[in-house]
Structure 1
Amino acid sequence: MSLTPQVAVVGGGYAGFAAAVTLARGGARVTLFEASRTLGGRARVVEKDGYRVDNGQHILLGAYAETLRMLRLVGVKPSVLETRRLALVYPGLCALRAAPLPAPLHLALGLLTARGLVLADKLAMARLMRQLKGRKFVVEPDRPVSALLAETRQTDTLTRLIWEPLCVAALNTPVAQASAQVFANVLRDSLGASASASDLLLPKVDLSELFPVPASRWLAMRGHTVRTAEPIKTIQPEGEYFRLDGDPWSTRYDHVVVASAPYHVAALVEPLPALAPVVARIDALRHEPIVTAWLAFDGPVKFPEPMIGMSGGYGQWAFDRAALGGPEGLVSVVISASGAHQEIGKDALEIALLQELQAILGPLPALKWAQIITEKRATFACTPGIERPRCATPHPGLWLAGDYVASEYPATIEAAVQSGVIAGRSILKRCGLREQNLLSAP
């Protein structure tokens, strides 16, 4: 192995850049390859009629410690995130807002003053959180979220307006199938933690500009390489080293981090027979879609909050992008996981979502254009007892990173970033290196 480890990162999403930045801070020489011309992977920008919109609407939480740390490292200013106290608002139905108090008073007072929830609802919510805290948020054996809600006697209203939407938004898996243990982990680190941990962090910039693009600049300024529109076909072993089929320089690498989407891993590692059991585990993962409808209106749309819940139709959450630094009249509506919306066409879904928004917000300005973006395999289905691959693989020097890699969290940006950091630190440790403070280095 060379004195300065040469590391290739295959994939320019959040996991890949988290790995690359971590490696660079430890003294490794990094080359990152992204098959697309756009950085971000499954969290990226899309161009539409002169607008830059995301392929999916993502929310960060104050609990996303690794993501926030990584943003600071590459120089992203905190002002790019609109910080809001937790507010679950369904206009005309329910409004639960965390109070500006330390935990647990922030949630207790928010629950006491919540509108649209009766005493039975509030007692049920307190009962679930109390029981989970009593178990130290361990759910054994793991079971569907719907079973946990039934066991703790959650009311129909609370289930419909709070627990089901939170579960589907976080795990991208219907409650009848979603892992109660992973959902408990999310609740532990958000509602059950500090007041700031449950804050909603809404990006004011597109998802490519939030982290991948600043990280790419940060790497370039330090002599590392980011190559876009450079698809890697396979990873070829060469003794203790690797070469990448698709690397125009045919560089020999000491380590490779595979940070692609899980369904691309099998083709990349085909020349590495030791990875067959890992590939089998990855291929066994089921996937769930996310649909994001972008609606551009010819005039402002008045929202009571930048993010509101939708109930009783196809839409689940709607976002006022104008309140988040976007153009006036731009709205996004998100539908997570599989459901009835998959049974109708895009035109019918567009009409239905417009009708749902109008029922909530009142008359809307004329629609200029609409774009419905479907990520058919947005995340893995986060089901009970699921076996996720680990970062380290049976082939020395070959590592995995991505939101599907073993973690306490579901497939979120935080899980992706965590996996990249773990991969990077694992390589540094293997090479006898550790991260340095290179924030001020040229």
Structure 2
Amino acid sequence: MKVAVIGGGWAGCAAAVELARRKAHVTVFEAARTLGGRARRIEANGRTLDNGQHILLGAYRDTLRLLKTVGVDRKRCFLDLPLQMRYPPAAGAMDFVAPRLPAPLHLAVALLRARGLDREDKLAMARFSTGARWMGWRLDIDCSVTELLARFDQTERLYRLMWRPLCLAALNTPPERASANVFLAVLRDSLGARRHASDMLVPRADLSALFPDAAATWLATHGATVHTGAKVAAVTQDGARWHIGDDTFDGVVVAVAPTAAAPLLAPLPDAAPLLAQLAAFTPEPITTCYLQYDTSVRLDQPFYALEDTPANGHWGQFVFDRGQQNEAGAGAGMLAVIVSASGEAAALPQADLAAAVAAQLAHVFGQSALASPVWSKVVTEKRATHASTPGLVRPDNATPWPGLVLAGDYTAGEYPATLEMAVRSGVAAAALLGRRP
């Protein structure tokens, strides 16, 4: 079987690897020069950065399986941390760390030991976790995350320091607009599963090297071809065959974002219903502010949560010490501050946002020197994800046209637009084509 994969992001690479495993002859077309799509390597001022900071979870079974398939060593390529939500050690700051104990004991002990939460907060969290398990981590009728938490009488402090930042990090959607069922699915497979599922995996390599580059190397040894800088302008159907340029294929995986998929699919017959689904997504940006300090600057932990209060100019939600996460200490002195659902922050001039984020770090860590980085770079991925809103209908991997399937983090599934959802969609797309006669 001869298959074209349009798009060399995580979904496209996952589909290509799965198809090659099934002995298909695979050709990947990626418009950019770098593989990875919306989770890729970028270069800035001679530095190798990412277009956004990511954390994977131990629950990401398909991603971890494919990483192993293409030869990525998990122990070498990830900083493996227990579940945690730790704030800079200011007075009253929350410090929640799950010990490496069997589930659910690890969460119970973490809650008992947590600092910065009073008895009412801890009882509220226990009440929510117990209730979510009892209802199978799913609502019959979806609602917002804010409404879900109100039903379980979560305290204002717990909402502010635990649930809101978790929702922003996982769904890239503010809790007042985020789907409770999507949020519950993430919690089910992390907090509600075996202890290792909640482990937080911080990539040591850049995002392109972590999987897409390794996948391309693996594909080359399995007879596949990967073209970068190769934008596909049109896909045409001829009976059971598909044409891309002068080449003909038995199947096609369209593994690009909805905005890029729509013009490829529009000329096909009966495309209107699918095009309407693709147009219904609301993009959500993610902004990463890189701040370079002297190489002696180092946080006490690999990353911290930050309380964002835009009214005070505090936009950052998490800060990562790149020197601790990168191999051989590369990136020493560089801090990466994440702003999820960053539309308002991204509208600021980049220099102003970088200055505000640096001032926030100086304030919360009590170190005035952090207000003056020697170099900064603001990177905004404007269409990093889609808003995971209640009741959002996402398109299936299968399409009305035999031999053409979709792959992407926006396709039907329980997860939000994460790397795991992208990989799962690629695996599902490959399975659909693999079942064709």
- Same fold flag (TM > 0.5): yes
TM-score range, shorter chain: over 0.9
8 Å contact 2:306–2:319 — kept in the other structure? yes
SS in 1 for 2:413: coil
8 Å contact 1:8–1:31 — kept in the other structure? yes
The CA RMSD over aligned residues, in Å, is 1.1
Structure 2 counterpart of 1:439: none
Structure 2 counterpart of 1:84: 81
> Percent of aligned pairs with the same residue?
48
Distance 2:275 2:220 in 1: 32
**Structure 1 position 419, deviation (Å):** 0.2
Q: Does 1:353 align with 2:354?
A: no
Structure 2 counterpart of 1:205: 205
Cα 1:338/1:50, change in 2 over 3 Å: closer
The code of the aligned residue for 2:109 comes to: L
**Structure 1 position 340, deviation (Å):** 4.0
Q: What are the equivalent positions in structure 2 for 1:302-381 lying under 5 Å apart?
A: 302-311=298-307, 312=309, 313-325=314-326, 326-338=330-342, 340-361=344-365, 362-364=367-369, 366-381=372-387
8 Å contact 1:274–1:395 — kept in the other structure? no
Q: What are the equivalent positions in structure 2 for 1:227-266 lying under 5 Å apart?
A: 227-245=227-245, 250-266=246-262
Structure 2 counterpart of 1:437: none
Q: What is the TM-score when the length of structure 1 is the normalising length?
A: 0.94
**Structure 1 position 142, deviation (Å):** 0.3
8 Å contact 2:287–2:342 — kept in the other structure? no
8 Å contact 1:31–1:227 — kept in the other structure? yes
Q: Does 1:214 align with 2:208?
A: no
- Count of equivalent residues: 423
**Structure 1 position 330, deviation (Å):** 1.0
The code of the aligned residue for 1:161 comes to: L
Q: What are the equivalent positions in structure 2 for 1:60-209 lying under 5 Å apart?
A: 60-78=56-74, 79-91=76-88, 92=90, 93-209=93-209
Distance 2:287 2:315 in 1: 10
Distance 1:213 1:338 in 2: 28
SS in 1 for 2:95: strand
Distance 1:115 1:356 in 2: 22
Structure 2 counterpart of 1:386: 392
The code of the aligned residue for 2:189 comes to: D
**Structure 1 position 276, deviation (Å):** 2.1
SS in 2 for 1:252: strand
Structure 1 counterpart of 2:47: 51
Q: Does 1:31 align with 2:35?
A: no
Distance 1:368 1:262 in 2: 39
Which residue, out of 419, 424, 442, partners 2:425?
419
Q: Which moved more, 1:318-327 or 1:294-303?
A: 294-303
**Structure 1 position 364, deviation (Å):** 3.0
SS in 1 for 2:399: coil
Q: Which runs of no fewer than 5 residues in structure 1 stay unpaired?
A: 432-442
Deviations 1:116-149 (A, max 9, x none): 0001000000111111100011112100000011
Distance 2:7 2:304 in 1: 33
**Structure 1 position 371, deviation (Å):** 0.9
Q: Does 1:270 align with 2:266?
A: yes
Q: What is the TM-score when the length of structure 2 is the normalising length?
A: 0.95
Q: Which runs of no fewer than 5 residues in structure 2 stay unpaired?
A: none
Structure 1 counterpart of 2:296: 300
**Structure 1 position 275, deviation (Å):** 2.5
The code of the aligned residue for 2:84 comes to: A
The code of the aligned residue for 1:266 comes to: A
Distance 1:324 1:354 in 2: 20
**Moved beyond 4 Å, runs of 4+:** none
SS in 2 for 1:370: strand
SS in 1 for 2:29: strand
SS in 1 for 2:369: coil
**Structure 1 position 343, deviation (Å):** 4.8
Distance 1:181 1:87 in 2: 22
